[in-house]
Every structure is written in structure tokens, then in C-alpha cells.
Amino acid sequence: MTPRTPPLRQSVLATPDSIRRLRSATVEHLRTAGLDAAVVELAQLAVSEAVTNAVLHAYEDAPGPGPIHLAVDVRDATVVVTVADEGGGMAPRMDSPGAGLGLPIIANIATTVEMAHGDRGTRVRMTFAASP
Amino acid sequence: MSDGDDLTLGAPLGVSVLQEGSVITIALTGELDLTTAHELEHAAAGVQPGGRCVLDLRELSFMDSAGIRALMRLDLRARDEGWRFTVVRGRSAVRRILDLCRVGDRIEVVDEAASIA
């Protein structure tokens, strides 16, 4: 693994195609950093779930999609992935689609998960061991 | 953003459908997520009561919970309409989420197409 991998920062509009874009950017970044394929796969899945949640829920009550911010940092033995939005958050809704699988999946595959929600949006910070 | 040199990176979903009698085999390549899950359900639209749908995931490179939800909707259809639904699991990224969501508890999951009885 490269000891000093530059961080990845990307901000895109929360449209459905942002899911694949940010997932691909994460995979490309971590592969370039030389990380084990198993770790790359875990981060790929976690980013997909977190971005999907933001696309579906963050701007439900807004006139249009707002931004999603992705940050990926490789720090020694840890990969830190943060997905943040500037929307209304993931309040329980009766009309919400899906079976609510995304967050349980993230909680299962990440080493740690922190979720913060406030007036300025929702932030999900996930860490993974750089070696499986 | 660059898609890189790896042609499999961020590949869209590819769907091929083979019908042999009452058996429809759907083979997926690329990535199954929120934006592509409807393509799978569309491909399975022609399965008839008493028939069978084999979903071949061996060449699928990625699937997330939107794909799991699509599988669950197909399973509900299969039970409602009376056809058999079998999933052939594939690469590690796909195997992981199938196992994580315990899809095999509800849907018939096999390792190889050859093992389909």
C-alpha cells in the first residue's frame, strides 16, 4: 500500500447515476492505492448503500436534488469513507421505498460507523481495516 | 471523473435472456443497483405459472441492496404466480451480499448452473 495516498474528494448532484459514479470513483481510488480486493469490495458496497440512501431520502422534500459529498482517505491501516449530503435526512417515512437494508449492511461490513444528522444534512462516516 | 482502464469498473448492467421451453434463464453482467434493478424485473416478465426462472449471477461484478430487493420482489412473484426461481451465485462481491442478507433462506441459491436440477 502506498504510504501517502492523496485523499479522494468528489461532490456530485444526488441523482441516481451518482450512485455508480461515486462507487466507481471509490473503487478506482482504492485500487490505485494498492488495497486488497476484499477491502475494496467492502468500501464499494458501503458507498453504494450510503449514496443510495442520500439519493432516495436527502432531498425528498426539496425542489430538486442537492449535493452529495464523498471523501475517501487511506490512513495507515484504515480506510475512512465519508458520504455527506445537505438535505433533510433519513426521518422515518411511511412512503419510503425499500426494505431498509442499506444501513444494516453498512453496519455489518464496516469496522466502525458514525452517523450524524443536523440542520446541514446527514453524514455517514465509515472505517474499514486496510487489510482484511 | 475517469472510469479508468478497467473495462469492468462501473460497467452498466448487461442482461441476456434465453428461453428454453418453460425455462427462462437470465444472465447478468456489470452492476446491479437502484438504477438498473428494474431491468432485471423486466427481463423476468415473461415467466409463466408452472415455469422456471434461473438467474445467473456468475458474471455480475457488483450488487447492492437494490438488487436484493429486486430478487425479493421476483421471489414474491414466483410464489404468487406459481413458478420456480433459482439464483446461480457468482463472484465474491455478489456472494457476500447474498450471504449477508441470507437470501438463501428464502430463495433457492446454487453455486453452478450445472447443479440445477
Q: Closest residue of B to A48, CA-based?
A: B64
How distant is the Cα of B29 from the closest Cα of chain A, in angstroms? 15
Closest CB from B6, B69, B93 relative to A45: B93
Tell me whether residues A101 and B33 touch, CB distance under 8 A: no
The three cell numbers locating residue B76: 414474491
Do residues B53 and B116 lie in contact, with contact meaning Cβ atoms separated by under 8 Å? no
Q: Give the neighbor-by-neighbor strand order of the sheet with A8-13.
A: A8-13, A67-75, A78-85, A121-129, A112-118
Q: What is the mean pLDDT of chain A?
A: 89
Q: Report whether pLDDT(B84) > 90.
A: yes
In a mutational test of the B interface, the residue from A15, A101, A103 whose CB has the highest number of chain B CBs within 10 Å is: A101
How far is CA A120 from each of CA A22, A32, A107, B50, rounded to the nearest angstrom? 21, 32, 23, 53
Tell me whether residues A21 and B1 touch, CB distance under 8 A: yes
pLDDT digits 0-9 by tens, A42-55? 999 999 999 999 99
Is residue B44 classed as helix, strand or coil in its secondary structure?
coil
pLDDT digits 0-9 by tens, A56-102? 999 988 999 999 999 999 998 999 999 999 997 655 555 555 558 89
Q: Does B115 lie at the interface with A, CB-CB under 8 angstroms?
A: no
The least confident of A26-40, A84-98, A116-130, B33-47 is: A84-98
Q: Name the pTM for this structure.
A: 0.90
pLDDT for A118 equals: 86
- Beta strands, E only, B33-107: 52-63, 84-88
**Could you tell me the pLDDT band of residue A132, with boundaries at 50, 70 and 90?**
low
